[in-house]
């Protein structure tokens, strides 16, 4: 067993894990942060995307022990109280989600995208989403949402 200490959504946490524990397992099973999902076992679907030290990563493809000392943000850490993050609000306003399962990873990936793009094209958004699979929306409204969310983040930044 190993002990890890990390900051999750602004709070310091310490946990004891097997070395084989994935970051997503630590989040879901030990920290009860079940917003981060697991949709595949080959690192492709992106339902598990969280931010580690500010970068979007797949928490199913990172060991919990590798996150020792890291700053982790999950979907639960995005809103401020009851006020949705601009990207969350854009997904709601543009109907960028249906079943909601891919949504946390999709939103976390989108927030990372927005940090690197100020006025994105549809093509840039579609290419960025290579690592996020949605089976419900056909991506149409996700693309719209990310465009709107990115622009809104640019306004508030």
Partner 1 sequence: MSATGIGAPVRRKEDSRFLTGRGTYTDDINRPGQVHAFLLRSPHAHAELRRVDTTSAKAAPGVLAVFAGADMQVGGLPCGWLIHSKDGNPMAEPPHPVLAQGKVRHVGDPIAVVIAETRAQAKDAAELIVVDYQPLPAVVAGEDALKPGAPQLHEQAKGNLCYDWHLGDKQAVDAAFAKAAHVTRLDIVNNRLVANPMEPRAAIGEYDRASGEYTLYTTSQNPHVIRLLMGAFVLQLPEHKLRVVAPDVGGGFGSKIYHYAEEAIVTWAAPHVGRPIKWTAERGESFASDAQGRDHVTHAELALDKDGKFLALRVATIANLGAYLSTFSTAIPTYLYGTLLAGTYTTPAVYVEVKSAFTNTVPVDAYRGAGRPEACYVIERIVDTAARELKIDPAELRRRNFIPKDAYPYQTPVALTYDSGDYFTTLDMAMKAADYAGFAQRREAAAKRGKLRGIGIATYIEACGIAPSAVAGALGARAGLYETAELRVHPTGSVTVFTGTHSHGQGHETTFAQLVSDRLGLPLEMIDVVHGDTNKIPFGMGTYGSRSLPVGGSALVKAMDKVVNKGKKIAAHLLEAAEADIEFKDGKFSVAGTDRNVAFGQVAFAAYVPHNYPIEELEPGLDETAFYDPKNFTYPAGCHIAEIEIDRDTGDVAVVRFTAADDFGRIINPMIVEGQVHGGLAQGIGQALYENAVYSDDGQLVTGSFMDYCMPRADNLPSFDVATHATLCTHNPLGVKGCGEAGAIGAPAAIMNAVADALAPLGIGSLDMPATPERIWRAIAAKTMPQAA
Partner 2 sequence: MYNFEYRQAQSVADAAKAVGADEEAKLLAGGMTLIPTLKQRLAKPSDLIDLGGIAELKGIKREGNAVVIGAMTRHVEVATSDVVKGAIPALSHLAEGIGDPQVRNRGTIGGSIANNDPAADYPAAVLGLNATVITNKRRIAADDFFKAMFETALAADEIVTAVSFPVPEKAGYAKFPNPASRYAVVGVLVARTGGAVRVAVTGAGPVVFRQKEMEAALGKSWSADAIAGVKQSAGGLNSDIHASAEYRAHLVTVMAKRAVAAAG
Which residues are near partner 1 by CB under 8 A?
18, 20, 28-29, 32-42, 44-45, 47, 74-76, 78-79, 84, 88, 91-93, 95, 97-104, 107, 122-123, 125-127, 129-130, 132-143
Structure tokens belonging to residue 3: 């002990």
- 132 three-state secondary structure: coil
Identify any residues that bridge with 52 across adjacent strands, giving them in sequence order.
55, 72
The alpha helices in the chain, defined as continuous H runs, are 23-25, 86-93, 103-116, 122-128, 140-156
Strand partners, 56: 51
Tell me, residue by residue from 10 to 49, as one string, x for binding to partner 2 by CB under 8 A and - for no binding. --------xxx-x------------------xxxx-x--x
Residue closer to partner 2 (CB basis): 95 or 116: 116
125-144 positions binding partner 2, by CB under 8 A: 128, 130-132
Q: Which does 83 bind (CB under 5 to 8 A by kind): partner 2, partner 1, none?
A: none
Which of these, 26, 24, 29, lies nearest to 4 by C-alpha position? 26
Decide which of partner 2, partner 1, none touches 88; Cβ closer than 5 to 8 Å per partner kind. partner 1
Q: Which strand (E) or helix (H) includes residue 11?
A: strand 11-17
User: Sheet of 71-73: strands edge to edge?
Assistant: 11-17, 2-8, 71-73, 49-52, 55-58
Q: By CB under 8 A, how many residues form the interface with partner 2?
A: 28
* φ, ψ for residue 7, nearest 5 deg: -105, 120
- Give the residue with the Cβ less far from partner 1, 69 or 99: 99
For partner 2, the binding residue among 72, 87, 113, 150 (CB under 8 A) is: 113
Contact of 103 with 91, CB cutoff 8 Å? yes
Q: Which residues bind partner 2 (CB under 8 A)?
A: 2, 18-20, 22, 41-44, 46, 49, 55-58, 60-63, 65-66, 109, 112-113, 128, 130-132
């Amino acid at each position: 067993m190993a002990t890890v200490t990390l900051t999750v959504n602004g709070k310091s946490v310490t946990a004891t894990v097997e070395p084989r524990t994935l970051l997503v397992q630590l989040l879901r099973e030990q920290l009860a942060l079940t917003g981060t999902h697991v949709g595949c076992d080959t690192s492709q679907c992106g339902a598990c995307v969280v931010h580690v030290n500010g970068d979007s990563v797949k928490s199913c493809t990172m060991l919990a022990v590798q996150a020792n000392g890291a700053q982790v943000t999950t979907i639960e850490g995005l809103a401020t109280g009851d006020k949705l993050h601009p990207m969350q609000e854009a997904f709601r306003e543009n109907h960028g989600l249906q079943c909601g399962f891919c949504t946390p990873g999709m939103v976390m990936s989108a927030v990372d995208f927005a940090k690197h793009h100020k006025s994105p094209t549809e093509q840039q958004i579609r290419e960025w989403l290579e690592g996020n699979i949605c089976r419900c929306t056909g991506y149409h409204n996700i693309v719209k949402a990310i465009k709107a969310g990115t622009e809104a983040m640019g306004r508030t930044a």
